Chains A and B, each alone.
Chain A
Amino acid sequence: MSENTNLLSVKNLKKYFPIKSGLLGGQKGAVKAVDGVSFDIPKGKTLGLVGESGCGKTTIGKTILRLHDKTEGEVVFDGVDIHSLSREELRKIRPRIQIIFQDPYSSLSPRMPIGEIIGEAVREHGIVPKEQFDDYITKIMRDCGLQEYHKDRYPHEFSGGQRQRICIARALALNPDFIVCDEPVSALDVSIQAQIINLLEDLQDKYNLTYLFISHDLSVVEHISDSVGVMYLGSLVEFAETDAIFGKPLHPYTQALFSAIPVPDPDIKMDRVILEGSIPSPANPPKGCKFHTRCRYAMDVCKVEPPRTIEVDPGHKVVCHLYDEEIMKNKENEK
């Protein structure tokens, strides 16, 4: 994995939303939705991003696409920093980065036929010559498991799974290199989920796509991702290859998250780590390690000092004092 094969690299990305109040709208503080996140995605691979709701997963996705302006940091896509582009340059790069949203019911215009929903941006960006337009849309629809006669229909005539196929077709039609999948299967039934996941995998093989797969469903993430990042309150707490992280979760939060997944076998009784309380407010995150309020291994040092990123195994990074040899040595000495 050399540096230049990375299609996308995010460096120390921060996104704060200001809290305004009072008559003049003076800024009172900021919601730190994304607070210093860095990762790379090699070409043709899938990065899974997991975490509880409100931890900033979706904000990362949107900031990568520049649907939100960043507060700090860099988003480098194929050698260009997306947040430094001018309007016109950004417009040119947009077809290459696409997004699939969570809710297929609200992300399709109810007044447009399917052919138009998929084709609008294709025509706008001049992806194919006019005379091939019709065939091109048909081909994309076929690839996504839709029939040609669906073209003249409206979104309300489709089921949830089919709508998600339309969303995928819309993203795919622009011939993108990179797709942000923001909880694409969460709103769907189990059997439909499997169809959509298989479709996403087939398309990845066919078009050599790169995915950022955002989900709170760990079993789906394990299935589809090559590497996984676990987020808590706007920061990555653990990052590793899928097999490594599921085989040996290191961060106490990751462990708790994994043990919370119900196993479809009545005979397996998990010794579950149940996290007390809920996620603290990102406007006023706890000092030191953000997780110390719910962590069962919390030490005194966690309340004061934010932990460093430690590479335990090659490629397996964790942000926790438990794996910081210096701190653990000091603790031993104190005893």
Chain B
Amino acid sequence: MSDISKNNNSNINNDKEQAKDKALRKKANYISAKETSAISKRNRKIVDSFEARRKRKNVQESEYTTTMRDPNNVVEFDDLHTYFFTDIGTVKAVDGVSFDIPQGKTVGVVGESGCGKSVTSLSLMQLVQRPQGQTVKGEIRFNEGGGKAYNIPDMPDDKMQKIRGNQISMIFQEPMTSLNPVFRIGAQINEVIELHNPEMNKDAVRKRTLEMLELVGIANAEGVYNMFPHELSGGMRQRVMIGMALSCNPKLIIADEPTTALDVTIQAQILDLLRNLKDKINSSIMLITHDLGVIAEMADYVVVMYAGRIVEKGTAHEIFHSPSHPYTVGLMESKPAINKRVERLYSIPGKVPNPINMPNYCYFRDRCNRAFDKCAGEYPPEIYLSDTHMVTCYRYAEDTKGEVDK
């Protein structure tokens, strides 16, 4: 390294310029301690007000009951905003997301890492890291059945515990880290069932657990009941996780990248299992993944997210046969497909914008290969191409359509 500094010293002018350049870059990327403390002070106030509201006792049920827009939906996300108040600024992880999960259907959520797909599902489970992470605006309506519906962000903790794991359950990406290594498989599934069905006796719980293990295609259920997680392979562990998630007959299963850590052959087994089970117990699935192939195979409806917002949503058929948003098109082209050889893969230029200082215009504009003048304006509105197909892009707006085609 000493050679480098010597070289630089010989040219003082160059050195000065470099220092100036460096300082500028620093300014763009770092903030001073003073600014940080001011931000955290401001954030503390906001977060405290949310927490105070949360911690109230004896919240009336009327405060968090609501009505579904469509009684056939299990969950409706309505203009959901989940922010993280950090010491360097507010991260708008989910910024105005609305979509529905109909009864008995699979909704796929696609997007790159950091686009807010996991935070959306965590908001639904009330599992967002508190106190920094808060659902600041919007409703998540959950249909409990019998005409009853709850607004999840307003629910007090004790009520939420009756829903979480019982009516909504979740399958995580890493089956190794989500099972407890020091407890036997049987005990871990028993715990879930006991917690949500206090009236069941021990034998009934055990029977139910074995039933679940058999349901997910584990041949040696009795044996696996007494095993520890490390004795199972990745695919088997994921089966156990699915069994656990299904043990209380949930209305909705959230599968957060359920097959990303698995081999293709095992992935095919697990997807097949999920598809069959969904029909058997008639529940909905919210499938979060970045693999478009998995989505195409499983989902009825697709939601494409980018930087905390939905850029396109529609039925699987619409999204895959007429992708409209340039981001969706880019995503599809950048994935190599079997038996479809291309000389060079398309790659979306640039990278995801910094989540703290989001621009006012379309978030995708700086990476978009089809941007035009109008895109410099404010964030594009939701434009419906059909009853179900929504896209947020000015290229499809009525008043600008003509301009683009020229």
A residues with a Cβ closer than 8 A to B are 52-53, 115-116, 130-131, 133-134, 149, 159, 161, 189-195, 197-198, 201, 216-220, 222-223, 246-247, 256-267, 272, 274-275, 278
Contacts and interface: CB of A to CB of B under 8 A. Distances in A.
Given A130-B3, A189-B113, A264 B332 contact: yes
B277 to A, nearest CB: 15
Nearest to A221: B336
A194 B22 CA distance: 31
B293 A263 contact: yes
A228 B337 CA distance: 16
A222 B263 CA distance: 17
Interface-centre pick from A189, A197, A220, A259 (highest chain B CB count, 10 A): A189
Contacts, number: 132
Interface string B324-339: 0000001110111111
B396 interface: no
A192 B290 CA distance: 12
User: Which secondary structure characterizes the binding site on chain B?
Assistant: helix
B194 interface: no
Given A197-B336, A261-B338, A52 B290 contact: no
A52 B265 contact: yes
Given A190-B334, A274-B269, A275-B269, 17 more contacts: A116-B1, A149-B22, A161-B351, A190-B291, A198-B345, A201-B344, A220-B336, A223-B342, A246-B338, A259-B268, A260-B264, A261-B264, A264-B292, A264-B296, A265-B320, A266-B320, A267-B320
Across the A-B interface, give the 3 residue pairs with the lowest CB-CB distance, nearest first: A262-B293, A194-B334, A223-B336
Interface-centre pick from B268, B330, B332, B342 (highest chain A CB count, 10 A): B268
A227 to B, nearest CB: 15
Given A134-B4, A263-B337, A194 B25 contact: no
B51 interface: no
12 contacts: A131-B3, A133-B4, A161-B351, A190-B290, A190-B291, A191-B330, A191-B348, A256-B265, A257-B264, A261-B264, A262-B294, A266-B316
Given A194-B346, A198-B347, A261-B293, A216 B332 contact: no
Contacts of B1: 115-116
Contacts of A258: 338
Interface in B263-290: 263-269, 271-272, 290
B214 interface: no
B208 to A, nearest CB: 26
Contact of B336 (A116, A219, A266): A219
